[in-house]
């Protein structure tokens, strides 16, 4: 499928909100990024609406529309009837004047096409050939049935949408004209591509609003004289039924809006034997006035409904009904084959997710999936990662942290910014002669350690590294390190017991001092001996000199 919703990867922050809100879970997650699975996506726009980082971008076709105009073509706009809610109090004439300033040749209401479609729905009801008829105006509903509920396909009305019917009618009346549909729906873009011969371009109200702002064009109300427009009520919940005559008493007439309700209704149809009913089904809550790309993605359901209702007339637009063949459509299955794990494979994945017992399956939905088993199936299919399970990651982190605290030979103490002890491990308890953690948790660190170092780290934000401290009360030496987590205003103190090391150092120092003292005494004694020897040698030398002198003199006399 063409990329209708694009993801800005740099903005994706691993929140899984898009997966959580995707009704058909057509979003995979890998390499820390969300990815839309196009062959399963129904283009409901929920991921676009709920993304807190604005990471989803809708395909912009305004350049294509501008190119049609610049080519000199007669470009006629089919304007969805929900424009009354997105551009309040302007009216079709005011919108026509504004759009002509952008270069469009003419502007008409898609409600003309809706009149053709609702007439065909009435004809299908009159025939009574189908037990269940589901309206086919909403392309998101159509895609959901085609991709995810193929058993319900026979109930989908084989009729083109108001957009296609109107664009087809425009091309019959304006020979050679190009058509541009403008509405509040993303999935209309895929429908436009499917019927490209009739619909040349699809814009959203958001795209139109941006274009008008860029050109400095402000739609303003203009006088209208229009007595027709029964199908203008189409974009409201139950609007299709209100525009139909519903003459057959054999049928029940049901309106279902909102994806969750639509899915429940489709499951009901799949599971039970249907009785005769016509079901108007709209993916958006409140129908098209709640579309995902209405101007400014505004949400004022009461005000919008009143605006559309007051703009609606009691009489139908006069239209020439095409042949049944021209407005018929076949909906084929678009189901992609999926592989599913067997029970052994499923259990293995669940174990890897930390779900060893049924009680471990919290089904909290934090990963975006409705249950742990549904998430495990997504892992098997390559749509999800094991790391997406928040409780699993939290438990893993806590277990890892607790193992470090429990097995570390160093004393570890966590403090709040009021220097209150919040956590302490066994090594610290033993080091400080504390019987149990509850005796100190919540107390000020001053009860067990000098608070000055902690206060200094808290004040300056600079860590303390390996400061050797003597704990006189405990007769122990420790190397103290203190770190500040500035984000959470938490202090982490690590105490390494160096008592034996310090005692050994002191012993060596004492031995060294004794050795030095002994060496000094030996040196002094040796010096005295040397001096004594030197003195004796001096006396002996003098006596020898005298004797030799006398001997010399005696010899000389002879």
- Any idea which residue has 């017992």 for tokens? 357
Q: Give the gyration radius of the chain's Cα atoms.
A: 44
Q: Enter the tokens of residue 488.
A: 């959470």
**49 near 299, Cβ under 8 Å?**
no
DSSP at 292: T
| Residues in the chain, total | 558
In the Cβ-directed half-sphere of 126, how many Cα atoms lie within 13 Å? 9
Find, among 105, 107, 87, the residue nearest to 218 by Cα: 87
CA nearest neighbour of 228 among 108, 122, 106: 108
Per-residue pLDDT in tens (0 to 9) along the chain, 558 residues: 578 988 777 677 778 888 889 999 998 887 778 888 999 999 999 988 888 888 788 999 999 999 999 998 899 999 999 999 999 999 999 999 999 999 999 999 999 999 999 999 999 999 999 999 999 999 999 999 999 999 999 999 999 999 999 999 999 999 999 999 999 999 999 999 999 999 999 999 999 999 999 999 999 999 887 789 999 999 999 999 999 999 999 999 999 999 999 999 999 999 987 889 999 999 999 999 999 987 555 568 899 999 999 999 999 999 999 999 999 999 999 998 888 899 899 888 888 887 888 877 777 777 778 888 888 888 888 888 877 776 666 666 566 667 777 788 899 999 998 999 999 999 999 999 999 999 999 999 999 999 999 999 999 999 999 999 999 888 899 999 999 988 888 999 999 999 988 888 878 888 878 877 777 787 788 888 777 777 777 667 667 666 666 666 666 665
Burial 39-62 (b: 16+ CB within 10 A, else e): ebbbbbbbbbeebeeebbebbebb
CA 369 – CA 373 distance, rounded (Å)? 9
Architecture of domain 408-497: 2-Layer Sandwich (3.30)
Show me where the domains of the chain are located: 1-59, 60-311, 338-400, 408-497
Q: How far apart are CA 195 and CA 179, in angstroms?
A: 11
Vertex 77 angle, CA 71 and 81, to 5°:
165
CB 156 within 8 A of CB 134: yes
Q: What angle do CA 139, 142, 143 make, to 5 degrees?
A: 90
- Token representation of residue 152: 């319900």
Instruction: State the Cα torsion 201-203-207-209 to the nearest 10°.
Output: 120
Nearest of 36, 84, 421 to residue 219 by alpha carbon: 84
Distance from C-alpha of 107 to C-alpha of 200, rounded to nearest angstrom: 15
Does domain 1-59 sit in CATH 1.10.40.30?
no
d(CA 420, CA 283): 54
Q: What share of the chain is helix, strand, coil (3-state, %, to 5)?
A: 45, 15, 35
1-59 and 60-311: same fold? Answer: no
Class of 60-311 per CATH?
alpha beta
Q: Domain 338-400: which topology?
A: 3-methyladenine DNA Glycosylase II; Chain A, domain 3 (1.10.15)
């Amino acid at each position: 499928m063409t990329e209708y919703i694009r993801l800005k990867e740099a903005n994706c922050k691993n929140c899984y909100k898009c997966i959580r809100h995707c009704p058909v879970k057509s979003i995979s997650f890998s390499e820390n990024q969300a990815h839309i699975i196009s062959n399963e996506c129904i283009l409901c726009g929920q991921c676009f609406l709920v993304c807190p980082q604005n990471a989803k971008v809708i395909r912009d076709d305004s350049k294509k529309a501008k190119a049609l105009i610049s080519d000199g073509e007669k470009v006629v706009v089919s304007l969805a009837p929900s424009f009354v809610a997105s551009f309040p109090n302007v009216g079709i004439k005011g919108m026509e004047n504004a759009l002509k300033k952008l270069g469009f040749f003419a502007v008409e209401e898609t409600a003309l096409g809706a009149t053709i479609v609702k007439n065909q729905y009435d004809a299908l009801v009159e025939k009574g050939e189908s037990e269940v008829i589901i309206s086919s105006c909403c392309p998101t509903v159509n895609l959901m049935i085609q991709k995810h509920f193929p058993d319900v396909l026979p109930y989908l009305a084989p009729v083109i949408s108001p957009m296609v019917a109107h664009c087809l009618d425009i091309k019959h009346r304006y020979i050679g004209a190009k058509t541009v549909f403008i509405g509040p729906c993303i999935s209309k873009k895929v429908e436009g591509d499917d019927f490209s011969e009739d619909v040349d371009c699809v814009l959203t109200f958001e795209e139109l609003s941006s274009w008008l702002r860029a050109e400095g064009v402000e739609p303003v109300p203009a006088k209208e004289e229009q007595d027709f427009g029964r199908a203008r009520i189409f974009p409201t919940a139950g609007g299709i039924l209100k525009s139909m005559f519903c003459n057959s008493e054999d049928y029940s007439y049901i309106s279902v809006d909102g994806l969750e309700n639509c899915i429940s209704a489709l499951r009901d149809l799949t599971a039970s034997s249907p009785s005769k009913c016509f079901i108007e089904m709209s993916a958006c809550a409140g129908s098209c006035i709640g579309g995902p790309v209405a101007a400014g993605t505004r949400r004022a359901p009461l005000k919008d409904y009143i605006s559309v209702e007051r703009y609606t007339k009691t009489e139908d637009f006069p239209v020439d009904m095409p042949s049944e063949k021209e407005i018929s459509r076949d909906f084929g299955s678009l189901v992609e084959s999926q592989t599913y794990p067997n029970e052994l494979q499923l259990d293995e994945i669940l174990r890897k997710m930390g779900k060893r017992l049924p009680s471990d399956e919290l089904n909290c939905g934090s990963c975006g999936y409705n249950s742990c088993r549904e998430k495990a199936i997504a892992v098997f299919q390559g749509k999800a990662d094991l790391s997406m399970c928040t409780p699993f990651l939290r438990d893993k982190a806590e277990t890892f942290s607790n193992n470090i605290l429990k097995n570390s030979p160093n004393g570890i103490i966590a403090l709040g910014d009021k220097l209150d002890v919040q956590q302490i491990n066994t090594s610290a308890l033993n080091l400080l002669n504390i019987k149990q953690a509850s005796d100190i948790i919540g107390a000020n660190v001053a009860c067990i350690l000098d608070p000055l170092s902690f206060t200094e780290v808290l004040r300056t934000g600079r860590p303390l590294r390996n400061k050797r401290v003597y704990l006189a009360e405990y007769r122990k030496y420790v190397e103290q390190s203190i770190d500040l987590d500035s984000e959470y205003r938490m202090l982490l103190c690590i105490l390494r017991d160096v008592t034996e090391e310090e005692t050994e150092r002191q012993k060596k120092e004492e031995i060294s001092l004794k050795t030095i003292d002994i060496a000094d005494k030996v040196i002094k004694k040796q010096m005295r001996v040397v001096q004594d020897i030197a003195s004796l040698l001096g006396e002996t030398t003098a006596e020898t000199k005298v004797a030799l002198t006398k001997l010399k003199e005696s010899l000389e006399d002879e």
